[in-house]
Structure formats: C-alpha cells, structure tokens
Structure 1
C-alpha cells in the first residue's frame, strides 16, 4: 500500500510490507541523518510542528528529519500560544494551518484531538502522540531498532520473546508498538505491570487473534526471564497524578535484575524519557555502559525512520537514492563515550 498522502494517526495503518520498505529507506537515509550525506528531495516543502503537550525527542527529531530532507519547518508549542486560547475551534485551527504547510506533525493530550484535526485538513497529519492513545512514529523507530539489533545478533523478530514492562495502561508507545509487533509471526508477548496498569484488553486480544502467545504478569523477575528483548516504560504520572499506584521497587530495571534474569544478548529498550530519580523505579542508569542497553541507538533511529516516513507520505521516496551527495561540513564522531564498541565501530559508516 502506498503511504503517499495518508494521515499517520495509528499504527493500524502499517502492513509488514510497509515496515520493511520504511526500514530499507531508513537504512539509506542513515548517513543523511548523521550529517555524512545530503539530500534536498523536500526542498520548498513546509512542515507545521504543532505540539500542545511537552516534547523533546519527538518534536526535535521530526523537525530535524524534515530539515535533513531539505524542507522547512514552522513550529509552535503550548495551547497558550495558539488562537485556541482565544476560543478558536480545533477544526478552524486545522483548516488555517493546512494553508501554511504541506504536512502537519501534531501532539495533543486529548486522544480524539488529532483525529478531529485530521478530519478538517487537506494535508497529511502525523500523530506525534495523542494522550494515552498512540505514538505511531515512536513505534516505527522502536521496530526499526529491533530490526537492526536482531540483525546484528543473527536473530529474527519472528518467534522472539518480547517483554513489555511498566505502565502499559497509559503508555501510548506500547499501544502502538504491540500493533506493529502483531504484524510479525509467532511471538511470545509478555506484558508485565501492576494489575491497575495493565495493557488494555483489546490490544491483548488483537495480538492473540493474530496467532501470538500472550502472557500477563505482575512479577518483573518472572516476566523478563530469558526475554530476547525487554521494552521498559516509565510510570505515566501525568495521566493520573492524584491517584495512588502500587509500583514497587521490583519494577526497577537495573543491572542486578538484568544480570539475574536476562541473557547476555538480551536487548534492552525504553522510549524515553526515563525517570532517573532513585525512587522512580524506572530503567536504571547503572545499565548505561552495558552493550545490551539500546536506548541511545533507539533514539538515533528516530531521524532516519521519520525521514523515511515523511518522504513516503509526500511521495518522494524514489527520488532519494539518486539525490544523495556527500556533506561538505565538519562532523565529529557520531557516538558518545558510553556507546558499545560495536556501535562506535560502525556508526561512522551509517550502519548500526
């Protein structure tokens, strides 16, 4: 299915063929994302970046991706800066903004808002996160990361045991991710959370209906044991700030737990931000130098996969390869001091 002109509101849109085409294109675009090569396939195009809710990675990486493709970006953040604060309807805002740009990336705390916005516009709208609903571009970069990590390890995603742990009720990243994972074959999906923060039942039923083995657990030590991949999420306190939640320190994914129950080749991911405060019971910083930790390889995947998505939605994917040329500016080493040796050795060439 062609993605040209499509709204990207949910991971439901993508087939496995779509994912494989996007991954292939993202591999081609990785040197562009890292400042080694240049393309101008979106020269003259404008993206409107509308973030009604806080964002660092999604907003900056979407904007950087569009700019790396040669396009321009117009941006605003916060409801208080928009005419909505003066009483304008979301539909009116959508119709107006669509006259200024060729594509919109939008984040909003109301799950229905991005759909209302898309209904009122004539340009493609990309969901950058809608409350506790979905985050399809995050799920794309997560799957692209899994694809690369498993390829490096000589494994397939098909047949893998994947543990998702944390706040699975409010975590929009895992809602989109489980939909994409369900496009693969014969997975064991282990959903680990307190009972009150479990994965929504319709998503569990979707995965089971597509032939996957689904397990539910409230014990991280048991749920993470022998996983091929662990996907941790933080407690989404902004979604239920006034409600007490049983979230004990057994949900802290630290080096001791990983060494005790995971294999030496288990991949560990997190959509970030992680809450690094000691009492947060999130992904531990003592894993930072562990090569199993893929969180920064994961964030590095954000720009090339979003470039691939924008190029596909705006119909220029086929023009990328012939347009590539070397960059002429100075670029330092791409990786940081804590990156795994295998990543430092390959990142310069744009192969992760």
Structure 2
C-alpha cells in the first residue's frame, strides 16, 4: 500500500505488511501519546473532523491524535450544523471542505457514504465509520491492542482464539476486525449472537476462505471457555427500526466477574469498542469487571490515539520526520500512562 496521499476507507486496502507498518509507526508514537515528548511535525496542518453521527472516542481521539502531532482541528458535528441540512450534496461538501483541510476524518450513517465523499475530496479521507459497513481505524486499534495483550503473554496474532459477542449483524467494528483477521493464520473465531443478529454471511465466508475455524453459537458460557479474547459489542440500537425492536436483544449476553471466573481461562482478555451500555437492561460488560486486570477496554481507547497518529503521519508522509520536530514536555503529566 502507498500510504502517502491515500484515503483510508476499508480494511480491504491492507495487506499484512501494511498493518505491520502501521503498528511499527504506532509504537514509535508512544512518547508523544503518553506525554513524555512533544512534536510539532504537523504544525500548520488542519484536520477537518466531520462527524454526522454521535461519537465520543472516535471523534476526540482523531482530534487528539492530530493535536499531538502539532496540527489543528476544525469540527463539524451533526447534519444540522452543516450545509447538508440545506440540501448540499456530499460531492459539493467534499469539494469545499477539502479546500479548507489537509486531511479529513469522517463518520456518516449511510453505508458507502465516506467512500462517495472521498471520491470528490482533494485531500486524504479517513473513514471513522459508515453506517453498519466498516470502521477500519477501530479494527486496526483493536488488532493493535490484541497484539500488545498477547505479546505480554509471549504470543502473537497467528493462532489467536477469539469470541465475538453481541450484535454482529450491525456491529461495524466486528465486520472490519474479521476482515483484518483474514490476513493472519490459524485463527479460531466463535461468533456469539442471537440468530437474528448473526455476522453477515459474506464475512463468515471470508474468514473460512482464509483458512480460519469459525463457529456460530447462541450460548455465551460455553463459547468463552477456551479463547484468548472475548470481544463484546453493544446492541446497535440506532440501526434498528424502533427502540422496542432493539430492546428484544438488549442484555441477552452479559459478562460479569462471576461468569468470567467460572467460564474463562485466567488470562482471557476482555475487549469492547465502547461505549458499553451500562443501563440495567443491558450491561454487556458489568461494572464489577472494572478491577479485573484483563479488562483491556481502556487500553484500547489509549491505543486508538497511537494508531490514528500513525495513520496521519503515514498519509501525510511525515512518519520519518516526527522525532526531528520533538522536545520534552514541560508540564506535569501525572504518570497516567504508567504500566500500560
């Protein structure tokens, strides 16, 4: 993959060496993401952050990643805050906003919308999620997290055992992660969901065509007994026709400390793309897991900044210049990244 000047729209763009390149650059971003060093390599550059769906982690981590590289961020959030509410096309919006920005991060509720926007953009566009289709940067940060968690145990991603739990039909994070896992070898995947929310068949076939062992199940406890990773997802209520329909599935698969202790191997890592639904009717990951050292959900969010910093430096072709524009920080950082 030629990163410089490229859009990042789909996991289909990546080969395994590309993923390893992103991860190597992400590793080198740690001093800056962990506030030990400051770099101004993107001083003067502008990120256009266009988020037409609610977002906390993705929107803020894209912005933080760009700021940590010395760039500035201009945000548009919600249709009502943009000219799209007045009938402007994605084409016209892309032509205008790409004149104001050096790179754009975009989220949109319609499948294929970010690619449509990118086709008209004059600068690189990074897909922050397009409907129930894909979320490539989330998949990359998820795999980066998996790699780091397994590395601490002397393992690598090949021969990973993973259970994906919850809304696998509409969960774009698991769609992209499955596609990314097709680049690796000997993966065992257990897909745990209600029948109505199963992983799309074409993605299951991609996994099997890559030589992976895939099992579909409706039973949580038996499915998480012999895995390295439990990757839980919330019910994507915004993709359902009504709140009542989403409520039929909410809380169907709950993981708490008692279930973890009884059914999981001692070092099983717990992941979730967040937000986790902490309402009493849901609680796919119970609060009593918060003190479990294998709960990696907040390490995931920290890793998201590293991966997005890496992608910005690669598409803007400054990955080799970052350290030349660096200095030590001059404020108290609190050691909040110690032990990660």
TM range (shorter): over 0.9
Shift in Å, 1:268: 0.6
The 2-side partners of 1:150 and 1:322 are apart by 32
TM-score (norm 1): 0.93
The residue that corresponds to 1:310 in the other structure is: 312
For residue 235 of structure 1, what is the aligned residue in structure 2? 235
Native 8 Å contact 1:250 1:281 kept in 2: no
Q: Scaled by the length of structure 2, what TM-score is found? A: 0.96
In structure 2, the partner of 1:81 is 81
Task: Give the gaps of 5 or more residues in structure 2.
Answer: none
Q: 1:226 to 1:295 in 2, by over 3 A?
A: same
- How far does the alpha carbon of each residue in 1:245-269 deviate from its partner, in whole angstroms, 9 at most, with x for none? 5437550011111111111111110
Q: Is residue 187 of structure 1 aligned with residue 183 of structure 2?
A: no
Residues 186, 211 of structure 1: 8 Å contact kept: yes
Is the Cα contact below 8 Å between 2:276 and 2:283 reproduced in 1? Answer: no
* SS in structure 1 of the partner of residue 133 of structure 2: coil
Deviation at 1:291, TM superposition (A): 0.6
- Shift of residue 157 of structure 1? 1.4
**1:280 maps to what in 2?**
282
Q: Is the 8 A contact 2:235 2:250 kept in 1?
A: no
Query: Where does 1:61-100 land on structure 2 (aligned, <5 Å)?
Result: 61-100=61-100
Q: Which SS does the other structure have where 1:168 is aligned?
A: coil
Where do 5+ consecutive residues of structure 1 fail to align? 336-343, 347-351
Q: How does 1:164-313 map to 2 (within 5 A)?
A: 164-242=164-242, 244=245, 246-247=248-249, 249=251, 251-313=253-315
In structure 2, the residue corresponding to 1:216 is in which secondary structure? strand
**For residues 276 and 258 of structure 1, what CA distance do their matches in structure 2 show?**
17
**4+ residue runs over 4 A deviation:** none
8 Å Cα contact 2:46-2:103 kept in structure 1: yes
| 1:7 and 2:7 correspond | yes
User: Aligned equivalents of 1:162 and 1:284: distance in 2?
Assistant: 20
When the two chains are superposed, the root-mean-square deviation of aligned CA atoms in Å is 1.3
> Which whole-Å deviations, capped at 9, do the CAs of 1:226-248 have from their partners, x for residues lacking one?
11111000011111042635437
Q: Across the two proteins, how many residue pairs are aligned to each other? A: 338
Question: Does the Cα contact within 8 Å between 1:28 and 1:321 map onto a contact in 2?
Answer: no
What CA distance in whole angstroms lies between the structure 2 residues aligned with 1:310 and 1:159? 30
Task: Name the residue aligned to 2:330.
Answer: 328
